[in-house]
A and B are shown apart, each in its own frame.
Chain A
Amino acid sequence: MADPSKRPHRKQSPYTVDRGIPGAYAGETVTRRRLFTGGALAAGGIASAAFGLPALGFALGPLFERSEAPNFQDVGPESDFNPETYVAKVITIDPYVGEPGKTTVYVRRFDPTRDTDKLHQPYVAISNRCMHLGCPVRYVSASERFICPCHGGVYEFDGKVAGGPPVRPLDRFDTKVVAGRVKVGPRFSLDSHLHRHKVRDPSNHLDGLWQYIYPSRPTT
């Protein structure tokens, strides 16, 4: 009779008195011991949740907050830039961390004869963050290519992937001209046809079926 499924099935009364439990009251369906065990477990669960859930939310909060949108930052007068080559400028992404919060941005004037994108930016401001794993790329003017030192990623003059492991063109920043000075604003990402998307991390695809396994996040 060790196997409970082999035991003859008898419909059991819901009342503790009928089941012959000592100290049972008539009409009682739950023993006091069971009630108090459940109550103690529930109290412990509520107490744990009372500190555990806020602590978890505290740790995970930044996943659901929009990271502070950078303002438009001045990178110099219009005369600094030309359509033929990029000029390296430094902007601040996060003002509270010192050097790591700064990044290089490559800026040139939009060239209607050469540029094929429909992004309507007066200046092309390309992020130096490699779209493979985020190393800093460098513009080599002799070959008109962006080259990554880490794993050999190479990009065309307009930031499209020319070779190596990168998964999409280099990110860009919004640009505008105010009173003759060039301003660089928030970052945006591009797919291989240079269509605009919300910011994705390096390594996240924006083309083909791959793009569906890299969702957009609340932080960007």
Chain B
Amino acid sequence: MRLLPGPLRRRREPAPAPTAGRPDGDLRKGHEAVALEHEREAARERRREAIADVPIAVVGWLDERTGAGPFLRGFLYRKVPKGTNWFYTLGSATMFAFISQAVTGVFLAMYYRPSATQAYESIQHIQNDVFLGQLVRGMHKWGASVMMVLIFLHMGRTFFFGAYKYPRELNWIIGVVLIILTMVMGLTGYLLPFDQRSFWATVVAVNLNSSGPIIGPYLADFLRGGAEFGATTISRFYAIHMLLVPGLIAALIGIHLYLVAKLGTTAPPWLKAEKARDLAKEEI
């Protein structure tokens, strides 16, 4: 079992015999009683060790059958360049925001009804009646903005640190697709409360899509499910919002992370400059 790094791994050391050589104990009790106590103490020690070994045994069982140990070691304990700082956590933060959106979204779906006549009422029900409903919907609503902010900060970090350059261009492209998909999530999710604001915002957003040349009008028809805002529009938006796009985002995050682990991260640009100066000195 070599999943855990050295210091975290439990070390097995033989337990010292508890009462051996204690003169007063030996004097007051007979040899048999002392031997019995030694035996009991040893059994207790064995039990304690066996219990402490259970989690390690479970992880070991899994590791033996999946071979996940080397993979996870490479993934979690990979070397990062000198100068790695808090800006490098923005990607993970964005992913955490996505996971929080996914979890709260799944539970909102248990109470939400995607129909033009019932959507607004079901949101009112979630807000006013369901235990912790206001909190969970609030997390989903504000979390959407948090995710947008984080994903753009993450893109800014990548851009200003030059982390999009060879060989990481593909990861930049995947990231751009992820930003677009996140904005699609924002657009489709905005309709779902189905109040006046979300209805008219969606009318405007669909007509904005329609203003694109050649395919624009067809795209608008696809979003509305016809030429007019109709009965299927909200269910289409709901399906796109909670099935189509989240699946794509999850898959692309997987590829994005694979490439990060495969290619490693870049050092901040100021460190590279220092190194280049040192190298130049050496060459002279």
Chain A residues with CB under 8 Å of chain B are: 59-60, 62-63, 65, 67, 93-94, 96-98, 100-101, 133-136, 150, 199-204, 213-215, 217, 219-220
Contacts and interface: CB of A to CB of B under 8 A. Distances in A.
B207 A62 contact: no
Contacts of A135: 200, 203-204
A203 B211 contact: yes
Contacts of A217: 217-218, 221, 227
Nearest to A218: B221
Given A97-B117, A135-B204, A67 B213 contact: no
A115 B204 CA distance: 30
A201 B213 contact: no
A67 B227 contact: yes
26 contacts: A62-B226, A63-B218, A63-B221, A67-B230, A93-B228, A94-B229, A94-B230, A96-B230, A96-B231, A97-B233, A98-B116, A100-B229, A133-B211, A134-B206, A135-B200, A135-B204, A136-B200, A201-B217, A203-B207, A203-B210, A204-B217, A214-B217, A215-B217, A217-B227, A219-B226, A219-B227
A201 B226 contact: no
A145 to B, nearest CB: 21
Contacts of B208: 133, 203
B216 interface: yes
Contacts of A199: 227
A93 B225 CA distance: 14
Nearest to B230: A94
A204 B199 contact: no
A100 B217 contact: no
User: Which one of B199, B211, B232 has the highest number of Cβ atoms from chain A below 10 Å of its Cβ?
Assistant: B211
Contact of B226 (A59, A65, A202, A215): A65
A134 B227 CA distance: 13
A94 B225 CA distance: 13
B210 A220 contact: no
Given A97-B117, A100-B116, A150-B204, 8 more contacts: A62-B225, A96-B116, A101-B230, A133-B208, A201-B217, A202-B207, A203-B210, A203-B211
A216 to B, nearest CB: 8
A208 B208 CA distance: 20
A213 B231 CA distance: 29
Pairs A-B, 8 closest by C-beta atoms: A203-B211, A213-B213, A201-B210, A97-B116, A219-B227, A67-B227, A96-B231, A134-B207
A26 B84 CA distance: 65
A164 to B, nearest CB: 15
A213 B206 CA distance: 17
Interface residues of B, number: 29
Nearest to B204: A133
B96 interface: no
Nearest to A66: B227
Contact of A67 (B206, B210, B216, B226): B226
B27 interface: no
A62 B217 contact: no
A144 B204 CA distance: 25
Interface string B114-141: 0011000000000000000000000000
Given A100-B116, A214-B213, A62 B203 contact: no
B79 to A, nearest CB: 33
Contacts of B225: 62
Interface in B220-247: 220-222, 224-233
Nearest to A210: B213
A94 B208 CA distance: 22
Contacts of B204: 133-135, 150
B214 interface: yes
A97 B116 CA distance: 5
B225 to A, nearest CB: 4
Contacts of B228: 67, 93-94, 101
Contacts of B230: 67, 94, 96-97, 101
A89 B233 CA distance: 25
A121 B224 CA distance: 30
Which residue among B204, B224, B227, B229 has the maximum number of chain A CB atoms within 10 Å of its CB?
Answer: B227
A201 B229 contact: no
Nearest to B203: A134
A206 B206 CA distance: 19
B214 A62 contact: no
Nearest to A94: B230
A87 B116 CA distance: 28
Contacts of A219: 221, 226-227
Contacts of B217: 200-201, 204, 214-215, 217
